[in-house]
Structure 1
Amino acid sequence: MDLTPLSRVVSHALRHEPWLYELELDDSGWVSVDALLAALRAEKPAWAGLSEADLSRMIEQSDKKRHELRAGGIRALYGHSTVRKLMKEPAQPPAVLFHGTAPETARLIREEGLKPMGRQYVHLSTDKVTAKQVGRRKAEDPIILHIQADEAYKSGVPFYRGNDLVWLADIIVPEFIG
């Protein structure tokens, strides 16, 4: 089974429009695996035999850790654009985080700060390689912004762990962006 289309549909269902799949996310973004499997099976006849093991394999083989399976539930770890903001547990970030963006956008970000735009949170990377990979979605040669996360955190900016490579924040003001 090609897991890429499955991953795309699961991401869409858990990040952006769960109502289209008749799913109800809890406050932390969890939905039962059984409910998701039923929705996926109804979505595409080829997925009639889809199982939790297939979802687990999809997560394990992904180049990025986007989803989490636990105790009969599944959720997207970050990237949500749903109207109701999901609750995240605040955590102390690494001292420096990175954000890759297009050159023309970098100037605006340095002036106005990083905002979540159509997402619930600002996405930050733990390393320059990941930030560059993310930034390439916006530009062939992205600018990598350095975020003084430790200073921002000490000044009261809440951060949330997305996964090993991604941290989230509500907003980053210009004074912490280099």
Structure 2
Amino acid sequence: MDKQHAEVSKFLSYVLRHQPEAIGLTLDHEGWADIGLLIICATKDGKHLDQHLIKSIVDNSDKKRFAISEDGLRIRAVQGHSSQQVGIEYQEKIPPEFLYHGTATRFLSSINEQGLNAKSRQYVHLSADEDTAIQVGLRHGKPVVLKIKALNMYEQGLKFYQADNGVWLTKFVPPSFFIQME
């Protein structure tokens, strides 16, 4: 991804996940924003977007953070929202036996005491593979990966969902379901 795409992707993440009101945008309950209105609001905020650039970012993103509606008129972040106006209705799914969470070593003692909490987001994000978790952990410092006994959690009544981009979501992971990896 080139520098312009990376910058626009970060901007889209910010407004579609966390602060749509920062540019005067409103999301519906499922997180959708009108693409034409997004372009107008972004332009007023000094960001140049057009339909082609937005589509290119959505189509070429390796993380698949965004989706465009079937009619091509709306866009949303597929997960990661902290905005309380968004409440995407994910379908509950049975998780694989293990999922993974990447974090930084500096957060480990707190996580081991309190578990994994969604904090300002709506869900804890888990990945299906260790490599993705390592990449997430690297964004926060020296990485550490927690292996989560996801199927055991599910069997004990905790719910799991999967976003369109493959990220696994749950509200909370108690420490008793962690297996710390080296």
Within 5 Å, which residues of 2 pair with 1:1-178?
Answer: 2-44=4-46, 47=48, 50-70=49-69, 71=71, 72-89=73-90, 90-140=92-142, 142-178=143-179
Q: 1:122 touches 1:171 (CA, 8 Å); kept in 2?
A: yes
CA drift at 1:128: 0.5
Give the whole-Å Cα distance in 1 for the aligned partners of 2:82 and 2:165: 21
- Give deviations 1:133-165, integer Å, cap 9, x for gaps: 00011223x111011111111222111212444
Query: What count of residue pairs does the alignment treat as equivalent?
Result: 174
Q: For the Cα contact (< 8 Å) 2:63–2:165, is it kept in 1?
A: no
Instruction: Summarize the Cα distance change of 1:18–1:164 in structure 2 as closer, same or farther, 3 Å threshold.
Output: closer
Taking structure 1 as the reference length, the TM-score comes to 0.88
Offset, 1:14: 0.4
Find the aligned partners of 1:122 and 1:134 in 2 and give their Cα distance. Answer: 13
Task: Confirm or deny: 8 A CA contact 2:99 2:147 kept in the other structure.
Answer: yes
Question: What RMSD, in angstroms, separates the aligned Cα atoms of the two structures?
Answer: 1.8
- Secondary structure of 2:29's partner? coil
Provide structure 1 residue ranges, at least 5 long, that are not aligned to the other structure.
none
Structure 2 spans left out of the alignment, 5+ residues? none
1:34 aligns to what SS in structure 2? helix
